[in-house]
Structure 1
Amino acid sequence: MKFGILLTSVYDRATPAARQRDEHAELVRTADQAGFSLMVAGQHFLGAELRYFQPVPWLTYMSQHAPSMDVATGIVLLSMVNPVDMAEQMSTLDVLTDGRVRFGVGLGYSPHEFDAFGVRKGERVARFEESLALIRRLWSGEKVTSEGRFVSVHEAQPAVQPVQVGGPPVWIGGQAAGAVKRAATRGDAWYSPPFPTHAQLYEMSRLFTETREAAGVAPAAEFPVRRELLIADSREDAMEAALVRYRARYETYRKWGLKGQNTPVEKSGEELREDIEQRFILGSPEECAAGLHKLGDEIGMTHFVYKPHWPGLPHAEAMRQLDRFGSEVVPLLRS
């Protein structure tokens, strides 16, 4: 099992950008020392609540602080961005990191982002699939002619090519059945988001495997999974910490328009606690290690992508959680 650190945003524009840069750099250096082998950065546009730096330059900068770590976009909003631009950006990143890139992609969900890019409702899947196919062809090194519905190229042969032959592995994110099937047939891995319950994660993992088998595609070599994880001296202490994080996190996602299949809804009291139990790994270091081991053993998780930063909580708390994960949870899993 490998470990990835998620460089997510917890600050809005009122916080100095340099502070976020320096705190992410500290996370990366500490994670590298703790045995993490991957850093992950996602993408959003025009965010007022949280500041997202664009992932390719961000990962390029952060990789200088941990030159041996792999890097992954988690995720690029491929239904919105230009595929020619993204093909060459990812090729550049692959060169700069000596071929240590994963290309994580997804559809997106925020109406204001789709509006800003002129993506009409009903187009996003078609745009995604056309863009991914074109990117793969541009990474092939061959001349490409493609008359697409959204983007066309003629006798294109980019000089900017990735180190990895054929391009970086493609991790496709999403939490609906359609997204999982798309990952099975068009991607190299399904990148599981943290929103589904543990039971839903198992169901979608089976769907991914069965769809891949039915399509005659070889088993995936990687299975990256995001689960929220809280370490404390007791399970009750971890639950109380999770309650604070849960409310702050999903309030932001609701503002951005996240909804649909396998997405948590508004709950309170015991219902909220039960919801957290179904989605979080939490408790003592031993309990957290057991939960992660179970995911590796039962569904074949190869990469656990960990997010210590949470909106509304100080960076020092993220560092405390990361330190405990590296010093108390990782040794239990290694043994």
Structure 2
Amino acid sequence: MVQVGLLLSDSPRSVPPEQQFQDVLRIVGEAEQAGFSHIAIGQHFLYGDLRWLQPVPLLARLAAHVGPDTKLVTQIMIGPLYHPVVLAEEIATLDIVTEGRLIFGVGLGYKSDEFDHLGIPFRERASRLDEMLELMPRLWSEDVVTHHGRHWTLNEVQPHIRPVQKPNPPIWVGAHAMPGVRRAGRFADAYAVPPETPVDEVLRRYRVVRDLFAERGKEFGCQPLRRNVMVADSREAAVAEYARVAKGRYITYAQRGLDLYDPEKLENEFADAVSGHVVLGTPDDVVEQLLDTVTALPVSPLLVRPQWPTMNADETVAVLRRMGRDVLPEVLAQPVRTGLSASGEPG
């Protein structure tokens, strides 16, 4: 059956960090009660007016808070900002602490200032991520590793931390652009689809990933796909509420380098600008749209974001409870599609 995951949000810095953490614990507990089986969190550094709790220590703490079947997901970590040895040991340790419930989601990053602050050339981020995705599985599985690459050199090093999951935790590569899709096909276990990608484009990208998996002798199965969700008593109310809680963040994304949006259109025609990837409306509307997606594509888990920084914990809990009551039962009862046919259509 289709599984559903929750994407945790960042919070305004005006919220004390200890309150943010307590809110996370409350939200995660409500999500599990509602039927969410995956808890995911992204990453940013030196983010200004908002605060991201860093995923590795937060997920380590959540491992003791959630049930034994709940998966914990880094969705996504900015891989090129790390040395691969540091990241490999962090992820291996996190897999141990989560008792094998970790999924490692990683991507390029898009904010050039983060790279500037950490002294990493922004133009090198693709080659760095490719090299680390080649190297990290070796650090997780080989007794002695020698590596001479473009960015890093290791001579007969002896890795000392291996993950619980063998040979390593599932690797999801997230990407907006086609080179990142091909990177997922070459190195990852799954391609994590961002919410802005329409269904027909998702299918095109899945074909690319499937073919590259086949070159590695890897089976193409269900893939994680992200969607933003807003449920209300009417479609008009859902549109208005989504604009209230999310419009400012979309404009900020556009201003900070995510070139998928036109700031002017977001400001003046918000509903139209985001209509292609937001699932919103009444519970029946949302169920219909989500079922259309999971019946058309081999998707699981479906990762949804019901929370934005402008929402307090009470508002988020109310959305989660409504989704648990009115939306998730039908989605969770839906059998998953298992792959693509030889022609590239859902199998």
Q: Per-residue deviation at 1:207?
A: 3.4
1:60 maps onto 2:67 in alignment:
no
Instruction: Confirm or deny: 8 A CA contact 1:231 1:283 kept in the other structure.
Output: yes
Instruction: Confirm or deny: 8 A CA contact 1:67 1:97 kept in the other structure.
Output: no
For residue 72 of structure 2, give the secondary structure of its aligned residue in structure 1. strand
Query: Residues of 2 paired with 1:130 and 1:268: CA distance?
Result: 37
Query: Residues of 2 paired with 1:55 and 1:108: CA distance?
Result: 15
For residue 273 of structure 1, give the secondary structure of its aligned residue in structure 2. helix
Query: Residues of 2 paired with 1:21 and 1:141: CA distance?
Result: 37
Q: Hey, what does 2:92 align to over in structure 1?
A: 91
Query: Residues of 1 paired with 2:108 and 2:65: CA distance?
Result: 30
Q: Hey, what does 1:296 align to over in structure 2?
A: 294
Amino acid at match of 1:156: V
Query: Residues of 1 paired with 2:143 and 2:222: CA distance?
Result: 27
Instruction: Confirm or deny: 8 A CA contact 2:4 2:332 kept in the other structure.
Output: no
Q: Per-residue deviation at 1:199?
A: 4.0
Amino acid at match of 1:97: T
Q: Hey, what does 2:270 align to over in structure 1?
A: 272
Gap regions ≥5 residues in structure 1: none
Deviation readout 1:75-130 (Å, 9 max, x if unpaired): 11111111101111111111111111111000011111111222224211110011
Instruction: Confirm or deny: 8 A CA contact 1:94 1:101 kept in the other structure.
Output: yes
Q: Per-residue deviation at 1:210?
A: 4.1
Query: Residues of 1 paired with 2:149 and 2:266: CA distance?
Result: 48
Amino acid at match of 1:148: G
Q: Hey, what does 1:310 align to over in structure 2?
A: 308
Q: Hey, what does 2:106 align to over in structure 1?
A: 105
Matches within 5 A, 1:1-335: 1-12=2-13, 14-68=14-68, 69-213=70-214, 215-259=215-259, 263-266=260-263, 267=265, 271-335=269-333
Instruction: Confirm or deny: 8 A CA contact 1:230 1:238 kept in the other structure.
Output: yes
Could you tell me the TM-score, scaled by structure 1's length? 0.93
Instruction: Confirm or deny: 8 A CA contact 1:11 1:20 kept in the other structure.
Output: no
Amino acid at match of 2:57: P
Amino acid at match of 1:146: H
Gap regions ≥5 residues in structure 2: 334-347
Query: Residues of 1 paired with 2:11 and 2:233: CA distance?
Result: 25
Amino acid at match of 1:240: A
With 147-156 and 222-231 compared, the bigger mean Cα shift is at 147-156
For residue 241 of structure 2, give the secondary structure of its aligned residue in structure 1. helix
Query: Residues of 1 paired with 2:267 and 2:119: CA distance?
Result: 41
Could you tell me the TM-score, scaled by structure 2's length? 0.90
Percent of counterpart pairs with the same letter?
34
Query: Residues of 2 paired with 1:269 and 1:60: CA distance?
Result: 39
Instruction: Confirm or deny: 8 A CA contact 2:247 2:266 kept in the other structure.
Output: no
Instruction: Confirm or deny: 8 A CA contact 1:6 1:39 kept in the other structure.
Output: yes
Instruction: Confirm or deny: 8 A CA contact 1:59 1:71 kept in the other structure.
Output: yes
With 202-211 and 231-240 compared, the bigger mean Cα shift is at 202-211
Instruction: Confirm or deny: 8 A CA contact 2:107 2:175 kept in the other structure.
Output: yes
